[in-house]
Amino acid sequence: MDRPHPTREACLSHLQKYVRSHTLRHLLATEAAMRGLARFFGEDEEAWGLCGLMHDIDVEQITPKEQYEQHMREHCGETCIRLLKEIGFPDEWILTVRSHNEYQNLPRNTRMAKALFAVDGLTGFIMAVGKIMPDKSIRSVKVKSVLKRLKEKRFAAAVNREHIRSCEKELGISLEQFVEITLHSMQKIAEELEENSSQEATK
């Protein structure tokens, strides 16, 4: 029997109460990537996707990122638990979401948790690569471009490369394959991601 859980529509509606468009764009990208990875591994696409969609629901409701240490200690903590429980998110999914933040010191003992930890930074990194394309679109990004930029420490310097590379040890797939799955999954929703970006720019 499938575990009871909120629908995607309910999750998205709930999420939009707490995050702005730039955060929502990252969450939609991560959802797409997690769904792509779930398909690759033959896992529960809905579970993986919804954990990707909701994993940063609390980031705008806690201490601002400018106070980095305090922000990271609070991220995926009590506020996150409360917001996810409000819509009936299953406890094991809440643990998956919370475990993507190392500051919570929680075990990542499922493939879904390991995937979320590794892909979180990669989705943002790919968006950054898209911004330097001539058309400013992830549609034009190639796997080799992402791999090349990952070697450049100054490019999107805040992204933790080791978290991304954990795909090799924890998921058993090459970095190139991980990038390919993530990129192609994001490109499938490029229009939606770019629409959110345009809305943000006009505000």
Residue 180 neighbours by CB distance under 10 Å: 18
pLDDT tens figures, 105-127: 999 999 999 999 999 999 999 99
Residues 6+ apart with CB under 8 A from 22: 196, 200
Q: Which domains does the chain have, with CATH numbers?
A: 8-197 (1.10.3210)
| Cα–Cα distance, 85 to 7 (Å, whole number) | 14
pLDDT digits (tens, 9 = 90+) for 163-195: 999 999 999 999 999 999 999 999 999 999 987
Q: Is the pLDDT of residue 2 over 80?
A: no
Q: pLDDT tens across 47-85, in order?
A: 999 999 999 999 999 999 999 999 999 999 999 999 999
pLDDT at 201 (0 to 100): 44
- How far apart CA 114 and CA 166 sit, in angstroms, is 8
Q: Would residue 156 be called left, alpha or beta, if left means φ above 0 and alpha means ψ between -120 and 50 degrees?
A: left
Which range has the worst mean pLDDT, 85-94, 96-105, 113-122, 189-198? 189-198
